[in-house]
A and B are shown apart, each in its own frame.
Chain A
Amino acid sequence: MAVAAASVPRAARRAAPDRRLALAGAAFAAPAALLLLTILLAPLVVLVLLSLTDYRLGAVAVRWVGLANYAEMFTDPVFRRAIRNTFLYVAFVLPAGVFGALAVAALVQARTRTRSFYEVIYFLPVTSTLVAMATVWQFLLHPTLGPVTPLIAGLGFGRLDLLNDPDLALATLAVIGLWQMLGFNMVLFLAGLSAIPRELYEAAALDGAAGAIDRFLRVTWPMLSPTTMFVTITTTISAFKVFDTVVVLTRGGPLGATDTLLYVLYLEGFHYFRTGYAAAMTVIVLVFLCALSLLQARLIERRVHYA
């Protein structure tokens, strides 16, 4: 009897099962939601507000300046140079990063016994600490101590100081960036390649596409196009964010030849502490990145259709 009496209020007190699940859900999500709020949302709001002020870290007075920071940006030679350099860098890295990786992937895919050997070697730079490897590159490219300068001189190009030549510094950084990311793109392409059904090649062969070039143009390239689009976007985004090699190797020099967006942003925000101005710059960077990511999201949706 006591049992029944005890169990009735227990049941009544309890929320309906659906409510319990909802409560559990809210409780589980709460910590992450709180982090999302403090690490992402609140900073975004503050960022946009800051970009409308002339705030400098440590300053006593703050003024609203409206869109003045944005206006300044477009007349600021440093910022304009940074934009130009960043896009140039992307323009260097992108074609080589995509087509180079595709070529490597196609060659590696065809190997049977040595396939994983090459995979490891090409992927190695992706896992290694870029800052540490950049110091190695610096040494490699050192005009008197490194082996690259004499090698190039041996090929008849004269003694070049690649990192200190305003015409070559950015391209040199691009080569290092390429070295770092090639293996990553290769793996994506390898995944794409192995997803192409064998039967398609066999059907193409029956249809008369016998040569390697025919096969590539009729089957591989069209079937790979979602992967290619995708690799293009991810490469663009990561090239757009070039930073580590600039800090380690050139610090924007020589003569601003390697000032890139993130590096300039870093200097303005955390060296000169022109917070308001840096905030405006960040907003611009964000707009670029969001546009690219939206494009990427669209492509992912398309990929699902293809797959």
Chain B
Amino acid sequence: MLPVKQRMRDGVTRRDGAGEGVRLVGIAKSFGATRVLAGLDLVVREGEFLTLLGPSGCGKSTLLRIIAGLEQPDRGSVSIAGRSVDHLPPAERDVAMVFQSYALYPHMTVAGNLATPLEMRRLTLLERLPVIRHLSPRRRRVMRGIMAEVRAVAEALRIEALLDRKPAQLSGGQRQRVALGRAMVRHPAVFLMDEPLSNLDAALRIEVRHELSDLHARLGTTFIYVTHDQVEAMTMSSRIALMDQGRILQLGTPDELYDRPASLAVARFIGSPSLTVLETVADGGGGIRLGALRLPFGHRFAAGTRLTLGIRPEAFALPLGPEADGPAFSARLVRAENLGAEWHLHVRLNLPGEPSAIVRLTAAEHEAARACGLMEDPLTLVLRARGVHLFGPDGSRAEPDRARTVMME
């Protein structure tokens, strides 16, 4: 006879909610007068790596804690694997969480930290009490099983040598691994991670990023990952939910978010350096005017409507080879930054108001342009089709979908 909690957990994980990992419906939450989440809906597919990305204070952690049951939403409901968990306490939701500060139990050894979630599930309260627990013959047996699992997880994370240490005696990366291990031993239906890499140094962050991706591939469990670092989001995620001010601006794969941002806010948030934003006006024929240029987009705005054009830094090119006959601007070079593999040119476009823009060139392009004398002021910049986005007066995407392959006149 298995303990009740374990039976329940098994019941939860095995019962598939038709490929559904986590479903959030109308989640709203305010702290006093501050509205943190504003009726948010989200379906996380089973087994996917979903990233909640957004600026600081947008409610990512709050949302994660609501999924875990550590926080109660004012409205809305959470289901995990097709089953409502609104009335379940955190421990019975079958989720595990890796905290930003790792939240290891400071007075327990690594082994103790890893064993705790299992002890809580497999031992009765009496078997966990000091002194009295030694009276239970069953406890010895259960603990042996637990320790075997703890060692297996520790081996998988390569921390088996650290099992007898206390958290204070570990490096940041080792602590991070222990926190991960404490989540893994439970084999939860969903992993929740709140900026688990933010306390690591840059090199370690990249290493652990790869390990997390591998781990996800190996376990095939649903991951919900919170970060405000877009590189982490772009490199690890199956899908990204971009959040701002308590709502989801766009949900999609990293490619979708980058190549077809649903709004100006999304386009601005994703991509570094940030895209160049130009104010323009609709010309009535589905195109826009930009100085002397006319760009066709196939939009439906009336002539004179104020629109916004977003241009990714790599959508600018120098008139080299095949790019030479695209729509061209002239621009004044303000500053050129050498990043090794690429160059960033800070320029001012020769348009009314001299708007500033950033141009990204590969080192090879920069080399070729210099050889051809194209780096002399004033520069001539050509616009590529890919990476140019048009947004309506409300900031939402203005082009019809097929316009991704817009052709220049």
Contacts and interface: CB of A to CB of B under 8 A. Distances in A.
Say if the two chains contact directly (CB < 8 Å). yes
Interface of A: 3-4, 6-7, 10-12, 14-18, 20
Interface centre among B10, B11, B86, B90 (most CB of A within 10 A): B11
A13 B355 CA distance: 63
B319 interface: no
Contact of A7 (B8, B72, B86, B90): B8
A6 to B, nearest CB: 8
B120 to A, nearest CB: 16
Nearest to A10: B8
Contacts of B15: 4
Contacts of A4: 11, 15
B54 interface: no
A11 B90 CA distance: 12
Contacts of B86: 16
Interface string B1-27: 000000110110001000000000000
Contacts of A6: 7
Nearest to B72: A18
B11 to A, nearest CB: 4
Contacts, number: 30
Contact of A12 (B7, B87, B90, B92): B87
B89 interface: yes
Interface of B: 7-8, 10-11, 15, 69-70, 72, 85-90, 92
Nearest to A7: B8
A120 B358 CA distance: 70
Contacts of B92: 11
A3 B10 contact: yes
Given A3-B11, A17-B89, 6 more contacts: A4-B15, A7-B8, A11-B88, A16-B87, A17-B69, A18-B72
B11 A17 contact: no
Nearest to A5: B11
User: What DSSP secondary structure best describes chain A's contact surface?
Assistant: helix
Nearest to B90: A17
B72 A17 contact: yes
Given A16-B72, A17-B72, A11 B11 contact: no
A14 B87 contact: yes
What 3 A-B pairs have minimum CB-CB distances, sorted nearest first?
Answer: A3-B11, A18-B72, A17-B89
Contacts of B72: 16-18
Contacts of A12: 87
A14 B5 CA distance: 14
A6 B15 CA distance: 14
A14 B86 CA distance: 10
Contacts of A20: 89
Contacts of B89: 14, 17, 20
Contacts of A11: 85, 87-88, 92
Contacts of A7: 8, 11
A67 B7 CA distance: 70
A10 to B, nearest CB: 8
B8 A3 contact: yes
Contacts of B7: 3, 6
21 contacts: A3-B7, A3-B8, A3-B10, A4-B11, A4-B15, A6-B7, A7-B8, A10-B8, A11-B85, A11-B87, A11-B92, A12-B87, A15-B87, A16-B86, A16-B87, A17-B69, A17-B72, A17-B89, A17-B90, A18-B72, A20-B89
